[in-house]
Amino acid sequence: MNTRRNPKETAKRGTRSHSNSHSKPNGKLNHKAKAPAAPKSFTVNEPSELLPFLLVHITGRGRNAIKSILSRGQVAVNGKVVTQHNFQLHPGQTVTIDQEKPVQVAEMIGLTIVHEDDDLIIIQKDAGLLSIATAEENELTAYRQLMEHVRISNPKNRIFVVHRLDRDTSGVMMFAKSERIQQALQTTWKDTVKERSYVALVEGAVKRPEGTVSSWLKETSTLKMYSSPHEGDGLHAITHYKLIQANRHFSLLEVKLETGRKNQIRVHMADIGHPIAGDKKYGAETKTVGRLGLHARVLSFIHPTTGELMTFESPIPKTFLKYTAPAPTN
């Protein structure tokens, strides 16, 4: 991931380093050190979620304090650290609480934090990870993991969704650390975001070196987007594309959005007869890629607090380059 920004301004803004180093205290205490509290273990006798179980067994601590203990990685179930407050417990399991255990940063699954300051978190999301779940879904998401991450330092901390990537789209994504920053970004999105570009692996050989697709998008009752044949019927969507490389089976395109509609790139690539590789929903026939051929490569924006131009660029997935490599010439 490449980033371009002024390191001095970054330092002023309070950027956090994601390392595992620990500072060592200097000097010696003159008073006798208090003996560390021994870990406590409890056996689960009936089904329960983890947080209610801990509220019963940890006396003198409120809900937020216990959530903080969870976030710090100081609770284990059958020897495995658990940070989810709604983790389901079953009879016979052993819950161990070790408040003297060094704080553990929860391992991120399917995402990497590439930048964090007092206002924003920028991540690179892998294909297959949901940005945020619906009310009916209860699975691991980028939002849920980042919420646990910010609550390590303070259980009252929260994060806020600014925009989304489809589950099967990889790449650069932004979250806000306050509702004020979220609203500032969303209300000025068109002016704040200077570049938002993708790379798309599409089926077939795209002949035109570049082009623009403009249509009015609507959604069916089965939640599938499509371009309406009638002007003004739906949400206006504009997509620009440029050919990077191609062979007779696949093409690699740089895609820039002038608007940000649901499934916009996927619909527009299907409209020009070159659906995104692996995108069965919108007419793709290939399965060999093993994922959706869409990657959010560049996100460039004006920082809502400092006014600094920040640009985050993610490399093109090697799979995309492999499948679009031109045929060797004799």
Mean pLDDT for each 10-residue chunk of the chain (330 residues)? 50 41 36 60 93 90 81 85 83 90 72 91 95 77 92 85 94 97 96 95 97 97 93 94 97 94 96 97 89 97 95 96 86
What lies within 8 Å, CB to CB, of 254 at 6+ separation is 197, 198, 199, 241, 242, 244, 297
Helix (H, G, I), strand (E, B) or coil at 181: helix
pLDDT of residue 244: 98
Could you give all domains of the chain from N- to C-terminal order, each with its CATH number? 40-102 (3.10.290.10), 105-187 (3.30.2350.10), 191-330 (3.30.2350.10)
Report d(CA 105, CA 264) in Å as an integer: 36
Q: Left, alpha or beta for 101 (phi > 0: left; psi -120 to 50: alpha)? A: beta
Exactly one of 98, 117, 119, 166 is catalytic; name it: 166
Identity of residue 289: V
Q: Left, alpha or beta for 125 (phi > 0: left; psi -120 to 50: alpha)? A: beta
Report d(CA 319, CA 162) in Å as an integer: 28
The b/e string for 74-90 (b: 16+ C-beta within 10 A; e otherwise) is bbbbeeebbbbbebebe
pLDDT of residue 36: 55
Active site residue 126: no
DSSP state of 276: B
What are the counts of helices (DSSP H) followed by strands (DSSP E) for the chain? Answer: 8, 18
Report d(CA 255, CA 210) in Å as an integer: 10
pLDDT of residue 29: 35
